[in-house]
Amino acid sequence: MPKDTFLNLDEAKQRRIFEAAVDEFSQKRFSEASINQVVKNSGISRGSFYQYFKNKEDLYLYVLKQIGKEKLDLMNYAGEIKQDADFFDGFIYMIRAALEWSRTKPKYYRIGMLMEFDDSHFISELRKALPEGFSMLKGMIEKDIQLGRVRSDIDSGLVVDIIYTLNLHLLIHCFKTDEESEFLKKIDEIIKILKEGIVNR
């Protein structure tokens, strides 16, 4: 979506702008993020920016697309291993992969998280169009139901929703406090509860 003028730039400059944008969008929600900041931190002029991108939305979409490329590589790699695992192991594997990614590329991860809590029109619409990261989990639960590993009256969609929500919530906490081992411990415990329930028997 950037204009040709941007694509014609030498790669170093493209990266400088991209990274300035990542910096900004990982600190502020889309609506609060400022082009001025991106312009300042990438050392280009305001006028140039609007020669490269149509507007702020254009820049955001570009950043997302770039991040998506890197994420896709990682997810494809993760996808190879968990073929015959059950849902629980598959989930834990995905969590660890995601955590690894969030550790190597924390800013990318933060952008995703901020997006999650952005209720602006633009972001709401955008979110709908984006691929759901945990969607594969739904298939895994359904497989487990067919194999008799999971109760047949369980709503797979709801379970994915639960997992997705709790994971996001814990991740945010993890980011704030930087207690990664605590996070993994809690995920394990949540999985256990999800498996067995909390009732004494």
Partner DNA sequence: ACCCAAAATGACAACCCTGTCATAGTAGAT
Partner DNA sequence: ATCTACTATGACAGGGTTGTCATTTTGGGT
Q: What is the 3-state secondary structure (H, E, C) of 28-83?
A: CCCCCCCHHHHHHHHCCCHHHHHHHCCCHHHHHHHHHHHHHHHHHHHHHHHHHHCC
Nearer to a copy of itself, 69 or 151 (CB): 151
Least spacing, CB of residue 112 vs DNA, in Å:
20
Residue whose C-alpha is closest to residue 94's, from 66, 75, 71: 75
Which listed residue (36, 55, 165, 177) binds a copy of itself by CB under 8 A?
A: 165
Q: Check if the beta carbon of residue 22 is closer than 8 Å to that of residue 108.
A: yes
Q: Among all chains, which residue has been given the structure tokens 């991106």?
A: 38
Number of residues that bind DNA (CB under 7 A): 20
75 scored as a contact of a copy of itself (CB under 8 A): no
Question: Which residues, in sequence order, are CB contacts of 67 under 8 Å at separation 6+?
Answer: 22, 105, 108, 111
Nearer to DNA, 31 or 165 (CB): 31
* Angstrom distance (rounded) from CA 76 to CA 72: 6
DSSP single-letter state for residue 9 = S
Using CB under 8 A, which residues numbered 26 to 55 contact a copy of itself?
31-32
27 scored as a contact of DNA (CB under 7 A): no
Nearer to DNA, 32 or 161 (CB): 32
130 scored as a contact of a copy of itself (CB under 8 A): no
Residue 22 in tokens: 């990542």
35 scored as a contact of DNA (CB under 7 A): yes
Query: Binds 51, which of DNA, a copy of itself, none (CB < 5 to 8 A, cut-off by type)?
Result: DNA
Q: What is the binding site for a copy of itself (CB under 8 A)?
A: 31-32, 117, 119, 148-152, 154-155, 158-159, 161-162, 165-166, 169, 186, 189-190, 193-200
Binding positions for DNA, rule: CB under 7 A: 4-5, 8-9, 13, 33-37, 44-48, 50-52, 55-56
